[in-house]
Chain A
Amino acid sequence: MAKISVNIDEKNLEVEVGKTILEVCRENGIEILTMCHLKGISDVGACRLCLVEIEGVNKLLSACTTKIAANMIIRTKTEKIKRYQRITSELFFAERNHVCSVCVANGKCDLQKLGYKTEMDHIRYPYLFPECEVDTSHPWYVLDHNRCIMCTRCVRVCAEVEGAHNWNVMNRGNKVRIISDFNTPWGESETCTSCGKCVHACPTGAIWPKAIVQGQLEKKPEMITELIEKRKMNL
């Protein structure tokens, strides 16, 4: 593989071409915050947390969807980026009804961890308090729209790894929702195989197994990455 040189956070690196900025950063121990990225499935740049500054580019670009190029000078931890990351995490909390104390994922939630990392102690924006549905029609799993941050990891893992494409996205703006099939109850889905990959891909308490009680949810998204890598090896 051809190598190119880049500079990330004042560090000179020799990296392979064709990789994204996020991949390069993770391989070199440079921490980048993400919510919608899951190693192995495609990247969509939905969460806007991995924004980086690139010299000569007059806007911030998402590290997960931007390919690294020769002589790029990238900064990942400027004050501006930190400010944006805090704003983004606050907006996640203000947009829907994230009540940690009654959530199955409490203490094991990526969204909580994100808040701690961005030093978010309170939310400066008015809460929207939207009325959100909780779909309990599936025999084993629950989809709680209150806790969804629209990372769409469930949509991608269902389509790309399981091949079922049960999940999709409906509406725009703050009315945007994850839907099962053509917006029918999950329990009536004709495509869902009940494999549970979306449960593990979901970074919050939005999709969870019914057998779990408050604060006991354990998710293993790395299992999905492992599965994808093993499939590649068999080929």
Chain B
Amino acid sequence: MSKKKIATVWLGGCSGCHMSLLDIDERILDVAKLADIVKCPIVDGKELPEVDIVLVEGSVTSDEHLREILHIRKQTKALVALGDCAVTSNITGMRNYFPLKDVFETAYVNAVSNDKEGSVPDHPELLKLRDKVVPLQEVVKVDFVIPGCPPDADTIFYVLFEFLNDRVPNLSDVKKLRYG
């Protein structure tokens, strides 16, 4: 059996889910026996190659994230939403209650840490924030979700290991469903 290819992607999140992924510790060797990790946030900026499974952390907050998640969907057989931000938009979605203009001004103009007047950055190279933050399933088809903020390392390993052994995980059956 040829090795599977897996990748992990970091969209609008705090990278806590990736930290939790690293917490699977030496079990990463079990993963490495069955799969090659071909892309993760610490490799260079090449586009995602064709893979079997991709774990996506974070929600869709900008035009760049939207372009990326649409590309990921084309490149992968299974798309796994990793963590509450990807599944429910979580903390990143808390700006959705306010107009985007107010959010920018709170962060850059009226921030307590500003000593003089601040201004909203608008360089063309910068990504453009969307009006509303949305979870992955609102823009692409998601094959599996792992909620949790962050999900337990055990839960992440369980899901990865099941997929790598061609089984479909079920979080409710193994009592690993958790939010927050």
Residues of A within 8 A of B (CB): 93, 97, 99-103, 106-107, 112, 115-116, 119-124, 126-127, 129-132, 215
Q: Residue on A with the closest CB to B88? A: A123
Taken residue by residue from 69 to 92, chain B's Cβ proximity to chain A (1 for < 8 Å, 0 otherwise) reads as 000000000000100100111110
Q: Report Cα–Cα, A215/B179, bound state, in Å.
A: 12
B90 near A121: Cβ-Cβ < 8 Å: no
B145 near A122: Cβ-Cβ < 8 Å: yes
Nearest first, the 9 A-B pairs at minimum CB distance are: A100-B180, A101-B149, A129-B96, A119-B172, A106-B180, A100-B179, A101-B180, A131-B97, A122-B145
B180 near A121: Cβ-Cβ < 8 Å: no
> Interface size (B, Cβ < 8 Å)?
26
Interface residues of B in 131-167 (CB under 8 A from A): 132, 135, 137-138, 142, 145, 147, 149
A102 near B91: Cβ-Cβ < 8 Å: yes
11 pairs from A and B in contact (CB 8 Å cutoff): A101-B90, A101-B149, A103-B180, A106-B180, A116-B177, A121-B147, A121-B177, A129-B96, A129-B132, A130-B97, A132-B97
Q: Which residue of A115, A127, A129, A132 contacts B179 across the interface (Cβ within 8 Å)?
A: A115
Q: Residue on A with the closest CB to B86? A: A122
Residues of B within 8 A of A (CB): 81, 84, 87-91, 93-94, 96-98, 132, 135, 137-138, 142, 145, 147, 149, 171-172, 177-180
**Known interface pairs A99-B180, A121-B172, A131-B98; 7 further A-B residue pairs with C-beta atoms within 8 A, sorted by A's residue number:** A97-B93, A99-B91, A99-B93, A100-B90, A116-B177, A127-B93, A129-B97
The dominant DSSP class at the A interface is loop
CB-CB < 8 A to B84: which residues of A?
100-101
Q: Report Cα–Cα, A215/B93, bound state, in Å.
A: 20
A97 near B179: Cβ-Cβ < 8 Å: no
Q: Which residue of B91, B138, B178 contacts A126 across the interface (Cβ within 8 Å)?
A: B138
CB distance from B81 to the nearest CB of A (A): 7
CB-CB < 8 A to A131: which residues of B?
97-98
CB distance from A105 to the nearest CB of B (A): 9
CB distance from B152 to the nearest CB of A (A): 13
* A97 in contact with B180 given A122-B137, A122-B147 (CB within 8 Å): no
A119 near B177: Cβ-Cβ < 8 Å: yes
A121 near B97: Cβ-Cβ < 8 Å: no
A122 near B88: Cβ-Cβ < 8 Å: yes
A121 near B149: Cβ-Cβ < 8 Å: no
Q: Report Cα–Cα, A215/B177, bound state, in Å.
A: 17
CB distance from A186 to the nearest CB of B (A): 21
CB-CB < 8 A to A116: which residues of B?
172, 177-178
Q: Report Cα–Cα, A12/B137, bound state, in Å.
A: 45
Q: Report Cα–Cα, A131/B96, bound state, in Å.
A: 9
Q: Residue on B with the closest CB to A123? A: B88
Q: Residue on A with the closest CB to B95? A: A129
A122 near B87: Cβ-Cβ < 8 Å: yes
CB distance from A86 to the nearest CB of B (A): 11
CB distance from A218 to the nearest CB of B (A): 16
B177 near A127: Cβ-Cβ < 8 Å: no
CB distance from B94 to the nearest CB of A (A): 6
Q: Residue on B with the closest CB to A124? A: B137
Q: Which residue of A101, A115, A122, A129 contacts B91 across the interface (Cβ within 8 Å)?
A: A101
Q: Report Cα–Cα, A106/B178, bound state, in Å.
A: 10
CB-CB < 8 A to A215: which residues of B?
180
Q: Report Cα–Cα, A101/B20, bound state, in Å.
A: 15
- Residue among A106, A121, A215 with most chain B CB within 10 A: A121
